[in-house]
């Protein structure tokens, strides 16, 4: 659990370091988390990961690994 928490903190810092505007990236994360929460209301596949954490992880992957989106 500690390693997982450290990984989330590391990813969050990575996202904030890449962002030019911390407020804007925070709002984007919140909007994505809110959208995902309501889109995935019927899907119970991964209920342990909160929407905001999932949004952070997705955004970091999109920024650091653009080849994921290119496919």
Query: For residues 2 and 11, which has the higher predicted lDDT (pLDDT)?
Result: 11
pLDDT at 42 over 80: no
Average pLDDT score over the chain: 82
Q: Between 48 and 40, whose confidence is greater?
A: 48
Q: Say whether pLDDT at 68 is over 70.
A: no
pLDDT reading at 61 higher than 80:
yes
C-alpha–C-alpha distance, residues 10 and 13, integer Å: 5
- Name the residue with higher pLDDT: 7 or 69: 7
pTM to 2 decimals?
Answer: 0.73
């Amino acid at each position: 659990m500690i390693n997982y928490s450290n990984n989330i903190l590391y990813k969050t810092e990575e996202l904030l370091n890449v962002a030019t505007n911390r407020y804007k990236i925070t709002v984007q994360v919140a909007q994505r988390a809110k959208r995902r929460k309501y889109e995935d209301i019927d899907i119970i596949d991964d209920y342990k990961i909160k929407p905001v954490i999932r949004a952070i992880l997705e955004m970091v992957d999109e920024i650091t690994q653009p080849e994921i989106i290119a496919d």
